[in-house]
Structure 1
Amino acid sequence: MPDPTIATDTGTGKLVIVDPYSSGSALARRAKELYGLDSIAVLTSRTLPAALVATYPAEDFVAELRYADVLTTARAVEALCGGRPDHLICGSEPGVEAYDLLAAHWGMRPNTGSSEARRDKFLMQGRLRDAGVRYIPHHLAEDTESAVAWSAASGLAEFVVKPVKSFATDGVFFCSSPDEVRAACEKLFGRDDLAGELITQVLVQERLVGPEFVVDSVSLDGSAFVVNMFRYTKETVDGNPVYRAMSSVDVGDHPGIVAYVEQVLAALGIENGPAHSELILTEDGPVLIETGARMHGGLGPRLVEESSSHSVIDLTLASRVAPDEFARLTRVRPSLRRGVVECFLSAQVGGVVTANRVEESCRELDSYLFHTCGQAPGDRIEKTTDLITSYGRVVLAHEDLAVLDRDLERVLDLDRRGALVEVSPTP
């Protein structure tokens, strides 16, 4: 829950949010509630997936601009604001680089170093290597043969192949041989990624073994505050990783992960604002998969509010709008008030929905909180192969972790048997 003692301001001002999609869609309304700010949206792409675009709450903004280049966009924003805007925030992954350019242009607590390395996974791993931080052995390939040759010569048993700017697990393949690496590359080269950019480079890297965690943090002037952690459960579908559950973890239980994430943020120059880091806890310690210089996407921040002593949304705003308030809120380390689990639902086939039984099947569970499955008979859904094509979520919350574990297994069992949403397969 948001801190009820958070300082508010009823004054006026302008907040610019770059790509307010996904969880970033909550920022404008909350900024108005807490600080009396009007928000302007800067949108960077016309080719994002429809499901992502649908999360943009246009009604929460007093104006909207399309990003052109930094100078043109800055002038357009200044014309609306009567000068430099008061505050600036990145709302989602596609806007990271445009946000960095605008922050540097206006001198509004910009992050440091290469902005591209905060999106490009090859450059990101290189920054870790150069800083002496644990990283994943990797290779940048600009053609299929380069990827196959590196994997064959690497001596590794398992590989991950993905676009260098992948997000939402788009285009991520798990491979067990150079032949599988070849097949993955042939599916990737020449198509567009989720942000609408042509894939001309892929990253081939070792597939690490160990539990996977996601860590959300917010920083101010180089001091990072780890807000929360979740542990992922994934399955592999046709060689692609598919999310199945995300379970809350007490930050205090993993000081080694906290220390490692602080090293990662320093190496990547994320000195101000939110970050979302995914990592594998190997036998040798945590190793980064990737970090996004923005809030956790999707329902992540809402789950934090349902379970944690701190709000990642409020801290994100405070880091950019009210530094003194950020300092006050971060004097106390975060703790879990109750456990929470996000169950990712997965369609075994694509087709037409004939029945939606999510509500009736899950509402009697002791830990049931809410779901996001609004499909009606006649609606179409895709076979789930990544995060975007998951057809919905069931969220559970409870003080007793045994109850959570039991209810999670019940939801996943129903989902695997096709009992939550019935689908008539597309011929």
Structure 2
Amino acid sequence: MPDPHKLVIVDPYSSGSALARRAKELYGLDSIAVLTSETLPPALVATYPAEDFTAELRYSDLLTTAAAVEELCGGRPAYLICGSEPGVEAYDLLAAHWGMRPNTGSSEARRDKFLMQGRLRDAGVRYIPHHLAADTESAVEWCAASGPAEYVVKPVKSFATDGVFFCSSLDEVRAACEKLFGRDDLAGELITEVLVQERIVGPEFVVDSVSLDGSAFVVNMFRYTKETVDGNPVYRAMSSVDVADHPEIVSYVEQVLSALGIENGPAHSELILTEDGPVLIETGARMHGGLGPTLVEESSSHSLVDLTLASRVAPADFERETRVRPTLRQGIVECFLSSPASGVIVANRVRESCGHLESYLFDTCAQAPGDHVERTTDLITSYGRVVLAHADPATLERDMNHVLDLDRRAALLEIAPRA
């Protein structure tokens, strides 16, 4: 007989690392990990909590992997969930194979940003003008003919801002392409095509949602602050936003999810609010990565992790919890810390410089003297976070500005060049 207490989690990295332990706490489930790649960045692999799983499998192909899971479970597993971005396509295959509330339409369009924008266009949903380039000259020619003042060049399956370049000239487009073609993306896949887009300007938001049988529930919103470093977007802060403040964003995200066939489970959508309304940057068919779910727990009336689990494990719980719209209990800000250079840490002053702030909640900066740090060029190479929480927006903004000022002045981390 199949084991009714088995949950399979595909790629339980980043925020997905919390799912197994929480599933055990809430529903008494044991979890099996299915890992899809052996070439992920070490920082991402390090988030995998192997101790929370009763078994671990490497994904090879659909039928082989499904058979291996069934052998462990005594048949089809009771529950299945996607833990992080690299596992989206393997998860979709397994969900469809077992008939476990699969999402519909092209799974590839839920990872490939070119196909994603095409799905929006075909569905009549606002999208960003774009072009798929298989070589540098194709990218340059499209930009020259399309006429926008600025462009974005990135791998079609980019995540965590890996390989994303903002370009204001054709020479910069050419340079970005030459840096991308022939290298591996963050998931270890060779880059043979890049997405070229018009750069859309406006405030940038991230929206987390969880769906059940085609009905989407927007759990939370954040607003991003970013800076450009050598043409790459680098996160500086992420601030909570009350969902009720932006009904137009909620409505747009519902259209996006429908166009992409994300009918069940979590989704993480990043968009820009233009004068004409929201327009999508990208959507991932998985939870907000990193600290996102933790920030939601600290600030919102609803839990992103619990709703994600309920959508796959306990639909009745999901329906009960989503009868009430989400509200903010307090504001929260995640400050992303940046290192201006690679080197060896001489002194870490994050805690002593930020721990006294009225809104200080916690930080992730445990580096000690002698540890190595990389120059920050994307989300993965940010060396840590300082998280602030407070009911008073003015206090929160004051403390955020203080942290970011210290970081810009390199006052939080003293670094010496590597020998």
- TM-score higher than 0.5 here? yes
Equivalent residue for 1:72, pick from 43, 64, 70: 64
Q: Among residues 123, 129, 139, which one is paired with 1:137 in the alignment?
A: 129
1:360 to 352, 363, 368: 352
Residue equivalent to 2:172: 180
* Structure 2 SS opposite 1:94: helix
CA distance in 1, matches of 2:313, 2:131: 40
Inter-partner Cα distance in structure 2 for 1:96 and 1:203:
19
Aligned equivalents of 1:367, 1:79: Cα separation in 2 = 50
Task: Work out whether 1:93 is the aligned partner of 2:85.
Answer: yes
TM-score, normalised on structure 1? 0.97
Pick the aligned partner of 2:315 from 320, 323, 334: 323
Kindly provide the CA deviation profile for residues 101-139 of structure 1, in whole angstroms up to 9, marking residues without a partner as x. Answer: 000000000000000000000000000000000000000
Note the 1:362-381 alignment, pairs <5 A.
362-381=354-373
CA contact (8 A) 1:163 1:202 kept: yes
- Supply the distance in 2 between the matched residues of 1:51 and 1:106 (Cα, whole angstroms): 32
- Match for residue 187 of structure 2 among 195, 198, 207: 195
Shift of 1:426: 3.6
User: Is residue 357–residue 420 contact of structure 1 (8 Å, CA) maintained in 2?
Assistant: yes
Q: How does 1:219-298 map to 2 (within 5 A)?
A: 219-298=211-290
Q: What fraction of aligned residue pairs are identical, expressed as a percent?
A: 85
Is contact 1:12–1:36 with CA below 8 Å preserved after alignment?
Answer: no
Q: Alpha-carbon deviation of 1:362? A: 0.6
- Which one of 23, 45, 50 corresponds to residue 37 of structure 2? 45
TM-score of the pair, normalised by structure 2: 0.99
Is contact 1:12–1:38 with CA below 8 Å preserved after alignment? no
Are 1:106 and 2:64 matched, yes or no? no
What is the RMSD of the two structures over their aligned residues, measured on CA atoms?
0.8
In structure 2, the partner of 1:7 is: none
Structure 2 counterpart of 1:394: 386
In 2: Cα distance, 1:193 partner to 1:373 partner: 26
Which amino acid counterpart does residue 73 of structure 1 have in structure 2? T
Deviation of the 1:418 alpha carbon: 1.0
Alignment partner, residue 109 of structure 2: 117
In structure 2, what residue type is equivalent to 1:257? I
Q: Where do 5+ consecutive residues of structure 2 fail to align?
A: none
SS at structure 2 position matched to 1:108: coil
Contact 2:4 2:77 (8 Å CA) reproduced: no
Q: Which residue of 2 aligns with 1:160?
A: 152
Q: Which amino acid aligns with 2:322?
A: T
**Residue of structure 1 aligned with 2:333, choices 341, 360, 371:** 341
Deviation at 1:12, TM superposition (A): 5.8
CA contact (8 A) 1:244 1:345 kept: yes
Contact 2:211 2:217 in 1 (8 A): yes
Aligned residue pairs total 417
Gaps of 5+ in 1: 1-10
CA shift for structure 1 position 425? 2.6
SS at match of 2:121: helix
Q: Distance in 1 between matches of 2:401 and 2:416?
A: 25
The one-character-per-residue Cα deviations of 1:351-384 (angstroms, maximum 9, x if unpaired) are 0100001111111100000000111111110110
Q: Take 1:412 and 1:60, find their aligned partners in 2: how far apart are those partners?
A: 35
Distance 2:38 2:15 in 1: 19
